[in-house]
Amino acid sequence: INLDGTKRVIDYAKSVESKSIVYLSSVAVYGYYGYVDLMEEAEKRPMDNPYSLSKLAAETMVMSYCKEIKQNYVVIRPGNIYGEYDMTSSYDIYRLLSKGKMPVIDKGRYKSCFVYVKNLVKGIYQASITPKAYNEDYNLTDGFGETLSEYLTHSANALGVKAKLPSVPAFLSKLTGRTVEGFYKLFRIKTMPMITMFSVLQNCVDYHFSIDKARVNFGYNPEVSLEEGTKRTAIWFNTMPKDLKVKR
C-alpha cells in the first residue's frame, strides 16, 4: 500500500494538475539511535520492521518519481501524534493513566517528539499551499522537547488523576518486547501486541527532532501547547466508553 497506493495518488495528482502532493512518512525512518534536534538531512537508518522500511521506500519513491514527472511534492515526517479521536495510542494511554497503570521505561526520562494532531494538520496544510515548501522533506513535531514522563504527567493532570508511572528498566522492556513479538509470531496471532520492539526502542533513547526547516520554509508554528493539547485530549477521552477493545 505504501508504494503502489502512493504512486497511484501521484499519477492522479499529475493528471488533475495538482499544485503539490503531500506524503506523510514518519520519523521512524531515522531509526532509534538517540537524537536531539535531529535535522532532515541526517542519515536514514530505519529499524528492521515493515512499517519503518516501507515508509522510507515510499518517501524515496515519491521524491524520485515526482522529479521524473515534474510534480511538486512535500514529504512530512510527523512525530508521535496525540489528540482527540486518536485510537492508535492516546485512548489506551489515557485509559491506563485513569486506572493508575501506566508503566514507563527508565522513568520516562528521555526527550520525545510529540505533536498535537491539530498542530500537525495545520502544518500539513501550510506546507501544501506554500511554494517555498515544495520538493523538500520536513520533520513536524511540537518542538517542545518534553520527556515521556512530562507528557504523561500533563495528561494525568488533565484527567484529574495522580500520575502513577512505575518504572521498568530498559533491558527488561526489550526482553519483554522480543518475547511478546516472538509469541505472536509463533502462534500466528494477527492482532498487534500491546508491547512491541517498535514502541520499546523509541522510549529507550532521546527521540527529538528539529523543526527549524519547517519554520523557515512555510512558517510552521505549533500554537497548541502540551498542557492545552492534553486537556483537549482528556475532554474527548472522558466522552468515550472506557472498555473499548481497539483493533490494530
Average pLDDT over residues 72-96: 97
Label residue 9 by pLDDT band (50, 70, 90). very high
Within a domain: 189? yes
Classify residue 84 as left (phi > 0), alpha (psi -120 to 50) or beta.
Answer: beta
Within a domain: 167? yes
Whole domain around residue 63: which residue ranges?
4-237
Within a domain: 32? yes
Q: Is residue 194 scored above 90 in pLDDT?
A: no
Q: What percent of the chain has pLDDT over 90?
A: 87
Task: Give pTM, 2 decimals.
Answer: 0.93
Residues 135, 161 contacting (CB under 8 angstroms): no
Runs of H (alpha helix) within the chain: 4-15, 50-69, 90-98, 117-129, 148-159, 170-186, 197-201, 212-218, 226-237
Task: Give the number of domains in the chain.
Answer: 1
Residue of 122, 105, 133, 113 lying closest to 26 (CA atoms)? 113
Within a domain: 245? no
Within a domain: 150? yes
Label residue 191 by pLDDT band (50, 70, 90). confident
Within a domain: 242? no
Within a domain: 105? yes
Within a domain: 117? yes
Instruction: Sheet with 136-140: list strands edge to edge.
Output: 21-24, 73-78, 136-140
CATH of the domain at 181: 3.40.50.720
pLDDT in tens, 105-147: 999 999 999 999 999 999 999 999 999 999 999 999 999 999 9
CA distances from 116 to 84, 100, 185 (A): 9, 23, 33
C-alpha cell at 75: 514529504
Q: Is residue 82 scored above 90 in pLDDT?
A: yes
